[in-house]
Amino acid sequence: MFQIGDNTLVSLDLVERFFSCDLDACLGACCIDGDAGAPITEEEYKKIKEILPEIWDDLLPRAKEKIKEEGVGYYDPEAELVTQLLDGQNCVFSCYAPGGKCICAIEKAYREGRIDFFKPISCHLYPVRLKKVGKGVTAVNYDRWKICRPAEALGRKRGVRVYEFLREPLIRRFGQEWYDELAFNCKLYIEQYLQEE
């Protein structure tokens, strides 16, 4: 692991693994499969409630019913605040583009200039997951999942490592200076240990 700054431990998977989302292959399965919603902060929960009228028409009819009945989020068995799910899998903010691709209604509205919130940071960071591992210390881990095998293959083909693919969300979460330190350490690690790749 790399220690970046005083309070983050970053898995070597971020530099050793390759990744580049391949939406044509997976069709957005990470928004569909799973046993809990996407982790959200209290601030994100409030923001999602605020922007709900702007994304309402993009949501699936059953998602609208679920939100009306139970709200935009809930606390999972580990006491983590997460987005609501449909039938224990589909995120309520999923919608579908031509060709059956699952996309995020929040991100769609942002890209169309209707809202100023991109999407929850946990979604933006995926396949990286953050976990508190001690007092004030956050582990930054790569979440390997079979549905992302096409993304790993495409990343290797393009020569894009996880930390490079996630540059924007990592900067959004930790800041430019933190990312610059991570990138510097990753480049040194590649030069010293991964030259054969």
| Positive/negative CA dihedral, 23, 25, 31, 35 | negative
| Structural domain containing residue 151 | 1-19+127-197
Other CB atoms within 10 Å distance of the CB of residue 102? 19
Task: Give the model's pLDDT for residue 30.
Answer: 85
Task: Give the model's pLDDT for residue 196.
Answer: 55
Name residues of the chain where pLDDT drops below 70.
Answer: 196-197
Looking at the fold, whether 42 and 59 belong to one and the same domain comes out as: yes
What's the rounded Cα separation, in Å, for the pair 43 and 33?
25
Q: Could you tell me the two tokens for 120?
A: 């929850």
Q: Which residues contact 98 (CB under 8 A, 6 or more apart)?
A: none
How many domains is the chain partitioned into structurally?
A: 2
Looking at the fold, whether 7 and 80 belong to one and the same domain comes out as: no
Looking at the fold, whether 42 and 80 belong to one and the same domain comes out as: yes
Task: Give the model's pLDDT for residue 189.
Answer: 96
Task: Give the model's pLDDT for residue 55.
Answer: 97
Reduced to 3 states (helix: H, G, I; strand: E, B; else coil), residue 83 is strand
Residue closest to 141 by CA, chosen among 153, 152, 150, 133: 133
Looking at the fold, whether 14 and 39 belong to one and the same domain comes out as: no
Task: Give the model's pLDDT for residue 87.
Answer: 80
Looking at the fold, whether 71 and 141 belong to one and the same domain comes out as: no
| Positive/negative CA dihedral, 96, 67, 129, 117 | positive
Answer whether 30's CB lies under 8 Å from 147's CB: yes
Looking at the fold, whether 8 and 82 belong to one and the same domain comes out as: no
Reduced to 3 states (helix: H, G, I; strand: E, B; else coil), residue 140 is strand
